[in-house]
A = this chain, B = another copy of it.
Amino acid sequence: MTTVRVATCQVSPVIGNYKRNLQQVKQSLSDANGLGAEIIVLPELPVSGYAFDNINEARALSENIDGETVSSYISASFNGTTIIGGFCEKGTDGEIYNSAAVVENGRIIDIYRKVHLWGKEQIFFTAGQDPAPVVSTQYGQIGVGICYDIEFPELSRDLTLRGAEILAFPTNWPKSETPAGERPNLHTIAMATARLNRVYVAVSDRSGTERGHEYMGASIVASPDGWSIANSEDNSEFRTIVADCDLDIARDKHLGEMNDILLDRRPELYLKR
């Protein structure tokens, strides 16, 4: 059994409160550490905030990979955690990206630039030109996407086929109405994604309200069987949840005694891609 403790950290950034936002992130990382987390997933853009007014604002809040946001991840990783967290990236090419850093043992081991941009992100950001990565970390193979990426089953399947055991999605999910008695749609998507790929899915969602935009605070860790093993749904300022994930389960693609969800595929019969 290869069990790792995964945390998702809810924060509630507000544009223009850079110091407060950064402090929230540092506090969350400390909370997750206190809960024994080995892998910590933070939301999308947790320090810059999300609801930019214009591209100049996005540019002003962007940071190089050695900026304070990623530096806070690096500092927190010296205690043995692997951290996946969003940041507003100022690329060396001058472009602004909606990115996630994967950090462990005091160094950056990967940067992912979001490839499916949501809403006005298309104005503020340049879309990533590289595939979402599967990162070999000290705790296992972690596939990384950001928010809207989870709505592309092709991306989750691709990460799974490339060996991901956990899919980590830093997320800022806009608030939408959930019918009485139902889980938020983000939970449903995460649970089905986990089940259909037999991987763990860890979505770290933000909360709070920014310029009139509300967010869900609907983080979840779903098991390869498709059930929630930790989740939240509230709009509080902070909320860190943890779940123990046995990666042996995610490496075994059997379903029942006679099936294997990857070997059973019939790619020659899926006509369009």
Contact = CB atoms under 8 A, between A and B. Distances in A.
B192 A257 contact: no
- Residue from A128, A185, A188 whose CB has the most chain B CB atoms within 10 Å: A188
A4 interface: no
Contacts of A267: 154, 273
B122 A258 contact: yes
A256 to B, nearest CB: 6
A158 interface: yes
A182 to B, nearest CB: 7
Secondary structure call for the A interface: loop
A179 B272 contact: no
B132 A269 contact: yes
A141 interface: no
B196 A151 contact: yes
A69 B157 CA distance: 37
A119 B258 contact: yes
Given A119-B256, A153-B157, A154-B265, 11 more contacts: A131-B271, A151-B195, A152-B196, A152-B264, A152-B266, A162-B272, A188-B188, A188-B195, A189-B192, A189-B196, A189-B226
B272 A158 contact: yes
Contacts of A129: 269
B158 A157 contact: no
Contacts of A157: 153-154, 270, 272
